[in-house]
Each structure stands twice: as C-alpha cells, then as structure tokens.
Amino acid sequence: MSPPQRHTHLDAVAMALMIGLCALWGLNQVAAKVANAGISPVLQAGLRSAGSVLLLMGWCRWRGVRLWESDGSGRAGMGAGLLFSAEFALIYWGLDYTPASRAVVFLYTAPFVVALGLHWLVPAERLTRVQGIGLVCAFGGILLAFGDNLSLPDRRQVIGDSMLLAAAAMWGGTTVLIRTSRLSAVRPSKTLFYQLGVSAITLPVASLLLGEKGIIGEPSALVWASLAGQTVIVAFASYLTWFWLISRYPATRLSAFSFLTPLFGMLFGALLLGERITWGLGGAMALVAAGIWLVNRR
C-alpha cells in the first residue's frame, strides 16, 4: 500500500475534526467518572479496548482491510500498544496519589514531548520559534484553568505527579513512534488495532496488579451505557479518526489542539455533573486558542 498523501498545514476539515475530537475526549472524562461508580478505572479502560477491538475487526472485515498481513509494522505496533496501556495504567494509578486537578497540568505536557521528539526526528515538523511560543501560550491556558490547585507537593503528591509526567511522556511518545516508524505507512485502522489489541490484554492484568475492586456491586444501566458510549464513540470512532489525521497532517500542529480537551472536560463537568468552574476558564480558552493559532499559522 502506498503511503497516504501528507499535508504541510492543517486545512479546515482537519481543524474542525480536531475540535470535535477534543470535545468528545472532554465529554469522555465525564462518562468515565459516571462509569467509575460501577467499574474500576483501569479495568474500565481494558473493557473499553476489548469491545472496541471487536468492533474494529468487524469494520475492517466489512471494508476488506487486512489486519494480519506482514508489512514490517509489528514491532512498532506492539511498542505503541504497550505505551498506550502503560499510559492509562499510570494515569489511574497516579490519581490515587495526586488530585485530578493537579494531574491535568502534568499530563498535558504531552504535546511538548510530541513537538520536541518530531523536531529532532522529522525535519518537516521542526518547530519555529513562534510555534514554540504558541505551545507555551496554550499550556499557559491549562495553568490558568487548573493552576489554583497547584501548591508545594507533599511526598505522596510528588509520587503521583511523577506518574502523570511519565504518562504524558508515553502519550507523546506514542505519537512520535507512530509518526517515525512503519506505522506511518499502514492504514489507521491497523495502528488502532495494535493499540486496542494490546491494551485489551494488558489493562485487565494491570487492574489486578493494582488491586482494583473490578466490577463494583451491580452496576446501573447508566454505568453500562457510559461504558458502551466510550467503547463505540471514543475508543473506536474517535481514535480511528485521530490516527487518520496523524497519518496525513503534521502531528505537532494537531497535538496543539489537545490543550482544548481538559477545558471541554471542565465545561461538560459543570453542565452535566454540577462541578465547579474555575474563574479562569474564559481566559484559559483565549490563551489556548491563541496558542493553537500561533502553532498553526502559515
């Protein structure tokens, strides 16, 4: 299969898709909180991957996409799947040590990992000074929205913060690996198959090792509906769209949009769960938007 045509800049379609994906991923934060009432977080992620990989296999069979053919992507695919699994395990494990509002700040250092990794490894995606300022500006929006929860950490929070930084490195590293390996030339569905397949096996094992409760009592219909939505809409449809995007557009420019995700999560949490919105959300949105513009301006 010939490599997909690559674009040097994001067009209107890519930008609209990324905003939609970030909104979905922000809404997923609310759905995961709902499902946490009946299913432990890491097991929830594993069940989501297991359901999604079955959907993906059915979709590929219908489309005539071969998932098992030898194309030299196996080693990179396994690596991407293990990074994806370890990222989720570290996020949920780290949240036992540090509050979610602190975790967001450390997790969203991931776009810097993508930017720096591709700057050195892919000449076509080297950052300009203005783009670097744009990433810092967008991260400033995250600090404005969530920074009031930052303080000098105690020993326990240092452990959690370190786990979230490691998870961010793995999140960004997964994107860099996909962009710089044989995975950049395979179909997005196969890239997603590696991640879902590996995580469907490893995350339930990680749940046991972390001592999670697993299925808690008798989960309500709302819990199962939340898991089903995450499985079909997020882990299958949105991730497939994401891999399609990074196979065709500059990953650094796409990653800048991910700073919108926690802001959407905060907004949906307030609308659907009655959570508190910090005073800086409006300013944070403006900073993130300015940063995205700087990263993506021609």
From first to last of its 298 residues, the chain has per-residue pLDDT tens of 555 677 888 999 999 999 999 999 999 888 888 898 899 999 999 999 999 999 999 999 998 888 888 888 899 999 999 999 999 899 888 888 887 777 888 889 999 999 999 999 988 888 889 999 999 999 999 988 887 666 666 788 889 889 999 999 999 999 999 999 999 889 999 999 999 999 999 999 999 998 989 998 889 999 999 999 999 999 999 999 999 999 999 999 999 999 999 999 888 888 887 877 777 788 899 999 999 999 998 7
Name the burial class of residue 5, with classes exposed (0-12), middle (13-18) and buried (19+) by CB atoms within 10 angstroms of its CB.
exposed
In this prediction, residue 127 carries a pLDDT of: 86
Calculate the alpha carbon distances from 42 to 95, 116, 121, 209 in Å: 11, 29, 32, 10
Residue 215 in 3-state DSSP? Answer: strand
- Which residues have CB under 8 Å from 209's CB, separation 6+? none
DSSP letter for each residue of 219-255: --HHHHHHHHHIIIIIIIIIHHHHHHHHTTS-HHHHH
> Would you say the C-alpha torsion 76, 82, 85, 89 has a positive or negative sign?
negative
- Per-residue pLDDT tens over the stretch 257-292: 999 999 998 888 888 878 777 777 888 999 999 999
Q: How far is 173 from 83, CA to CA, in rounded Å?
A: 8
Q: Which residue has the tokens 């449809």?
A: 237
Q: How far is 105 from 89, CA to CA, in rounded Å?
A: 18
In this prediction, residue 2 carries a pLDDT of: 52
In this prediction, residue 143 carries a pLDDT of: 87
* CA-atom Rg of the chain in angstroms: 19
- Per-residue pLDDT tens over the stretch 59-81: 999 988 888 888 888 999 999 99
**What does the block give as tokens for 53?**
């990989």
Task: Identify the bridge partners of residue 39 per DSSP, sorted by sequence position.
Answer: 215
In this prediction, residue 152 carries a pLDDT of: 63
First to last CA, the chain: 31
In this prediction, residue 269 carries a pLDDT of: 85
In this prediction, residue 66 carries a pLDDT of: 86
Helix (H) or strand (E) holding 107: helix 100-107
- Which residues have CB under 8 Å from 264's CB, separation 6+? 22, 23, 25, 26, 27
Q: How far is 203 from 210, CA to CA, in rounded Å?
A: 10
- Residue 153 phi/psi, 5-degree rounding, is -80, 150
What's the one-letter identity of residue 44? Q
